[in-house]
Amino acid sequence: MVSDPLFDVLRSYAILKSPKLIQRPSVSFKSAHNFLLDHVLLNPHFQEFPPSGQYQLSFWKWAVDWLEGLMTEEDELDERIYSHHVDLLQSTPSYVRINNVWFAMPQPSYLTYLWPTTRVMERPVYPGYASATLLESRTTIEAGTTGLRTWSASLVLAQYILTHPELIVARRVLELGCGVGFLGLIAASVQLEGRDPENASLWLTDVNERVLQRCETNLSLTCNDSSHHSNVRVQLLDWSDAVDPSRRPSVSGLFNEASPDVILGADLVYGPSIIPLLVGVLNMALRPRGEQHNPVAYIALTVRNPSTIADFIQQAGESLAIEEVAALPVVQNLFTQSTELGQDASQEVKIIIIKRRAD
């Protein structure tokens, strides 16, 4: 992996890390200035898929302060950095009033997640790194759903997939509760990079129409590998249909058509009421469809309330076989290490493997 300390600044900008948490590397004015100008401000990727204006304003304020602190009398800041900062200062964020106090509404933003690759890429965001770009909301709940942003369980499961590509290469994969599609974008890259990509398929499912639309848009962004994947489908699937006798046949039909070898899911268990639905849908998804067909589910659970997670494991364990994956070493947390997702980032994430019980 590239260990350029300036790269960490770029990566932080790409995922909207709060500038107060970004470390200022010990480099000369010239190195910092040229890097920020060439790789961040003038980077064609960030010009096409920029972080929100709100974020850029805080980032460039931080960057200008940093550069001014490094400057000697002979140094000069490029005019383009100053004028970009001034333009941002002049653009007005939208405000909402809550209890007579005005707050800036967090704007939806592009986020670009980067991971090291040995693949030679035509237009990398940064040499030696693959990327996935998404338009995400920056709120926890919006329009009645938690699905419009990426949650840290997805980041952890994405790392697991990147380090175990054989699990999904040339396989039929179905994701439950896919949200805006981060895990799907990573899975699409892994499938396309692996052998026999024409045998691979990817079905991304969720209950919320707006979430599905956002997911579809993200998958088709031309900068993402997923836009070249010929077998990706975004599909409505409500887990509650799996426990409703009148709607079960349509869920069966969907799983028969997708015939998934691998089920993925991240941050799906956030309350007790969801547990029977999820166990119901997992039982249907994990049914073998053919003699050699033994589907497996990899589910990443964010431990907000340990008793809810214990209840899920206990209820799923009544009909299915469950095994926990040993914790990933923190140092290897590719995405979470540099991501600031507020409270969500500090919670433990468990990955469990779920299979059909051997009779």
Ligand X SMILES: C[S@@+](CC[C@H](N)C(=O)[O-])C[C@H]1O[C@@H](n2cnc3c(N)ncnc32)[C@H](O)[C@@H]1O
**How buried is 181 (Cβ within 10 angstroms: 0-12 exposed, 13-18 middle, 19+ buried)?**
buried
Residue 283 Cβ, how far from ligand X at the closest point, in Å? 15
Q: How far is the CB of 348 from ligand X (least distance, A)?
A: 15
Which C-beta is closer to ligand X: that of 304 or that of 355?
Answer: 304
- Residue of 239, 255, 298, 335 interacting with ligand X (CB under 6 A): 239
Number of residues that bind ligand X (CB under 6 A): 24
Minimum gap (Å) between residue 278 Cβ and ligand X: 8
Binder of ligand X out of 19, 51, 106, 177 (CB under 6 A): 177
Q: Does 266 bind ligand X (CB under 6 A)?
A: yes
Residues 5-34, mask of contacts with ligand X (x by CB under 6 A): ------------------------------
Query: Given candidates 136, 206, 225, 261, which one binds ligand X under the rule CB under 6 A?
Result: 206
For the CB of residue 135, give the shortest distance to ligand X in the complex, in Å: 14
CB of 51 to ligand X, least distance (A): 19
Q: State yes or no: residue 136 binds ligand X (CB under 6 A).
A: no
137 binds ligand X (CB under 6 A): no
Binding to ligand X, residues 51-110 (CB under 6 A): none
Query: In the range 273-302, which residues lie near ligand X by CB under 6 A?
Result: 277
Q: Which one of 153, 173, 202, 263 is in contact with ligand X (CB under 6 A)?
A: 153
Min dist. Cβ of residue 149 to ligand X (A) = 7
The alpha carbon of residue 26 and the mean position of all alpha carbons in its chain are separated, in whole angstroms, by 30
Report the residue from 8, 238, 311, 340 that binds ligand X according to the rule CB under 6 A.
238
User: 167 or 254, CB closer to ligand X?
Assistant: 254
